[in-house]
Amino acid sequence: MELIFITNDPGLAIQAQNSGIDRVMVDLEILGKQDRQGHLNTVISGHSLEDVGRIRSVLNLSKLLTRINPINDQSKSEVDSVIEYGADIIMLPMFKFATEVRAFIQLVNGRAKTCLLLETKEAVLDIDNILSVEGIDEIHIGLNDLHLSMGLSFMFELLKNGTVDKLSKKIIEAGVKFGFGGVARLGSGRLDASLILSEHIRLNSSMVILSRDFKKKGVDIKVEVEKIRTYLGNPKSIEILTKNQQLAYEKIDNISSRLVK
């Protein structure tokens, strides 16, 4: 499974690469994000186009992933610029329909890998048409914005209600690489990271974003990444995965009920 680390700090990017992280993400998305997430305890990155070049200059093993803005009048210029600065993979957020995906694929035109960040209820409903668009390399299901779009109280309800299961099956059947959500350090997080990673294994996920928990003062990124690699590398039977799934669902119900109150 590929691990993704978000930063515009070259020093942290080098540390992430040396810790075995597969991708470093520079996050340029800003359009509409404050309106959607301003009331939540989430990070709005504030990265710049120049940061793409700065991070590119220090990476020689990890891939450079760049999240751009949703399709808009400046998308051609933005796509051209991040490619010029050296992005290996470009991520499109907040699309709703296949028409936007097709426009994105055409703008990239094979010059970088394409990653769709599926995070709207409209995209869930239009998934069959979206998957018919040629040129999609991978799809990451963004649990944060998607749970807001669907009116849910806790982002991991999307695991419990079957949304991620249904989407993952369709995406994998289409021959497209798939991942979802983020994960904290093992032993951390509102929903324990081990249960989230167990769901990744059960669903045949190929990638996950490491949360800001990995950036806390005193955290040894390499040690924490090795713990995740060890957990993922230990074989787990269907029985264990099913048991973890049920335990995760119980905890999700408990957390969701507290949030509603």
Confidence of residue 35 (pLDDT cuts 50, 70, 90): low
Q: Which helix (H) or strand (E) holds 2?
A: strand 2-6
Compute the distance between CA of residue 33 and CA of residue 38 in angstroms, rounded to an integer: 7
- Separation in Å, CA 246 to CA 32, 161, 201: 36, 12, 14
What's the pLDDT score for residue 46? Answer: 82
Compute the distance between CA of residue 98 and CA of residue 132 in angstroms, rounded to an integer: 8
Query: Domain with 102 in it: what CATH number?
Result: 3.20.20.60
- Check if the beta carbon of residue 118 is closer than 8 Å to that of residue 150: no
Asked whether the predicted pLDDT for residue 160 surpasses 70, the reply is yes
What does pTM read for this prediction?
Answer: 0.92
Q: Is the dihedral of CA 252, 253, 255, 260 positive or negative?
A: positive
* Owning domain of residue 200: 2-260
Domain count, the chain: 1
Asked whether the predicted pLDDT for residue 34 surpasses 60, the reply is no
Cα 21 to its chain centre, rounded Å, is 14
3-state DSSP call for residue 98? helix
Confidence of residue 258 (pLDDT cuts 50, 70, 90): confident
- Check if the beta carbon of residue 141 is closer than 8 Å to that of residue 121: no
What's the pLDDT score for residue 151? Answer: 95
Confidence of residue 38 (pLDDT cuts 50, 70, 90): very low
